[in-house]
Amino acid sequence: MEDQDPLLKFPQPSPSIRVQKDMIAVAALERDAELMLRVRDGDTESFTLLLNKHRGPVIHFLYRMVQNQAVAEELAQEVFLRVYKSRANYEPSAKFTTWLFRIASHLALNHIRDSKNERTQDSIDESDDDGRTLQVADRGMTTEQAMVYQARLAEIRRAIRVLPEKQRAAVVMHKYQEMEYSQIALVLECSESAVKSLLFRAYETLRVRLAHMAG
Amino acid sequence: MSCPIYDESPDLLMDFAAGKLDWESKQRMDVHVSKCAICHEALAAQAMVWKALDEWDAAPVSMDFDAKLYARIETQHATVWGNLKSLLLPATTWFRWQPAIGMAGVGALFLAVFLLRTPAPAVHGDGVRMESHEIEQAELALDDVEMVDKLFAESKGEAQSL
């Protein structure tokens, strides 16, 4: 049935949708770039606006990468400090978030590589108790439900953790940050097809590892 | 059994699962998935993965995150200014705590300025003067020799006449 499938020549999104998407992207690009240019000119208020907008996404990205809230916040501080320090040389050549997440992913990948031999898997698990406890409390679960949930969560986190670093970064950006392939490619400094390949392999691994959680 | 979409365009499946396709593409994909067992199974598995990943919320950000960041920025400013000061102002600090050395330095500076501003003797003019003096002396010496010769000749003639 797949021999004559017309889906091989799958059409691109219709022009109207593409135009709308591009306009939103351009507006966001201009807004963040404009704020950063103001920061370059010494306007600290604009830095606060950028921080308020991107603080959450950056910390959540780093948290899912390093799986430790304290380390994630420490790395996020470094990200924003680097943004502030390099304000004088800022040129709006790329989307602000691409630049921001490139710094964040570099720091995260370096941290993962540096700490790979230093930290045992057990210590990583222990280090994230704070985050999990909060999630359980927020969901208003019984003790039994909380235990089941924590076990599932531990499996999900472990499944993500054992992915190769770049696959992990690609999945986190694709799933949680809802980034386009092109932007992930710019952040990870690789081609769009390489990103698609990274994601395909990562999701395939996750499908196998999390298959027993279905149903 | 294989599927060209699953094998060659898995991103299409992901976009379909994520609801990112436009209406026309979505319709085509709906038709394909209803006939293709591979894609159907892959979509179900993908949906299961995403559902599982959705359970993993990120922890809330610490309340003092911004305060810590601004403190680091302030420290950075202070460090940069401190480095600049240590580069630019060591001499003034030295003067403040070592007045004698400072005064000696100022004295040396005045002496240097005084020596540089004092007009040096004109070496070329002096040389000319020395040269004319030497000629004068030589002429006088020749005159003396001539006079001695004359005296000697006169005394010789007087002796012969006697």
| Domains of chain A by residue range | 16-127, 162-215
Q: Which residue of B has its CA nearest to A199?
A: B11
Range of the domain at B96: 89-118
% pLDDT > 90, chain A: 56
Alpha-carbon distance values, A31 to A6, A34, A50, B43 (Å):
40, 5, 10, 37
What pLDDT was estimated at residue A174?
94
Q: Are residues B19 and B40 in the same domain?
A: yes
What pLDDT was estimated at residue A28?
58
% pLDDT > 70, chain A: 75
Whole-number mean pLDDT of chain A?
A: 82
Question: How many CA atoms lie within 13 Å of B65's alpha carbon, on the beta-carbon side?
Answer: 25
Q: How would residue B81 be classed by pLDDT, with cut points 50, 70 and 90?
A: low
What pLDDT was estimated at residue A9?
43
Residues of B with CB under 8 A from a CB of A: 2-5, 8-12, 14, 21-25, 28-29, 32, 35-36, 45-46, 48-50, 52-53, 55-62, 65-66, 68-69, 72-73, 76
- Candidates A203, A204, A209, A213: best to mutate against B (most CBs of B within 10 A) is A203
Per-residue pLDDT tens for B34-43?
999 999 998 9
Residue B83 falls inside a structural domain: no
* E strands, chain A, in order: none
Instruction: Tell me which amino acid residue A21 is.
Output: K
Enter the DSSP assignment of B13: H
Enter the DSSP assignment of A172: I
Instruction: Tell me which amino acid residue A171 is.
Output: V
Question: Is the model's pLDDT at A132 over the cut of 60?
Answer: no
The Cα of B108 is separated from the nearest Cα of chain A by a number of Å equal to 43
What average pLDDT does this structure show over A153-179? 94
Q: How would residue A3 be classed by pLDDT, with cut points 50, 70 and 90?
A: very low
What average pLDDT does this structure show over A150-156? 91
Q: What CA–CA distance (Å, rounded) separates B140 from B150?
A: 15
CATH 1.20.1260.10 given to domain A162-215: no
Q: How would residue B114 be classed by pLDDT, with cut points 50, 70 and 90?
A: confident
Q: What CA–CA distance (Å, rounded) separates B107 from B113?
A: 10
Q: Which residue of A has its CA nearest to B17?
A: A175
Residue B73 falls inside a structural domain: no
Comparing CB atoms, the residue among A5, A131, A152 nearest residue B55 is A152
Least confident of A23-37, B68-82, B114-128: B114-128
Question: Is the model's pLDDT at A86 over the cut of 50?
Answer: yes
Whether residue A200 and residue B10 make contact (CB cut-off 8 A), yes or no, is: yes
Q: How would residue B116 be classed by pLDDT, with cut points 50, 70 and 90?
A: confident
Residue B142 falls inside a structural domain: yes
Q: What CA–CA distance (Å, rounded) separates B25 from A14?
A: 9
Whole-number mean pLDDT of chain B?
A: 78
Comparing CB atoms, the residue among A60, A81, A196 nearest residue B11 is A196
What average pLDDT does this structure show over A94-104? 92
Residue B59 falls inside a structural domain: no
Residue B16 falls inside a structural domain: yes
- CA quadruple A169, A108, A88, A81: dihedral sign: positive
Per-residue pLDDT tens for A6-52?
444 444 445 556 556 655 655 656 789 999 999 998 898 999 999 99
Please state at what angle helix B37-54 crosses helix A143-161, rounded to 10 degrees: 120
Please report the number of interchain residue pairs, chain A to chain B, with beta-carbon separation below 8 angstroms: 120
- Candidates B11, B54, B56, B80: best to mutate against A (most CBs of A within 10 A) is B56
- Candidates B24, B49, B64, B72: best to mutate against A (most CBs of A within 10 A) is B49
Least confident of A97-101, A146-150, B31-35, B92-96: B92-96
Residue B60 falls inside a structural domain: no
What average pLDDT does this structure show over A178-204? 93
**Does the model's ipTM exceed the 0.85 cut?**
no
Please report residues of A whose CB lies closer than 8 A to that of B79: none
Q: Are residues B50 and B8 in the same domain?
A: yes
Q: Are residues B41 and B11 in the same domain?
A: yes
Q: Are A186 and B16 in contact (CB under 8 A)?
A: no
How many domains does one find in chain B?
3
Q: How would residue B91 be classed by pLDDT, with cut points 50, 70 and 90?
A: low
Per-position DSSP letters for A40-82, written without gaps between them:
HTT-HHHHHHHHHHHHHHHHHHHHHHH--HHHHHHHHHHHHHH
CATH no., domain A16-127: 1.10.1740.10
Helix (H, G, I), strand (E, B) or coil at B20: coil
Please report residues of A whose CB lies closer than 8 A to that of B28: 6-7, 10
Q: What CA–CA distance (Å, rounded) separates A192 from B133?
A: 97
Q: What CA–CA distance (Å, rounded) separates A190 from B29?
A: 28
What average pLDDT does this structure show over B94-123? 71
What pLDDT was estimated at residue A7?
40
Whether residue B56 and residue A157 make contact (CB cut-off 8 A), yes or no, is: yes
The residue among A189, A191, A164 whose CA lies nearest residue A99 is: A189
Token pair of B104, please? 């000696």
Whether residue B69 and residue A77 make contact (CB cut-off 8 A), yes or no, is: yes
Per-residue pLDDT tens for A67-83?
999 999 999 999 999 99
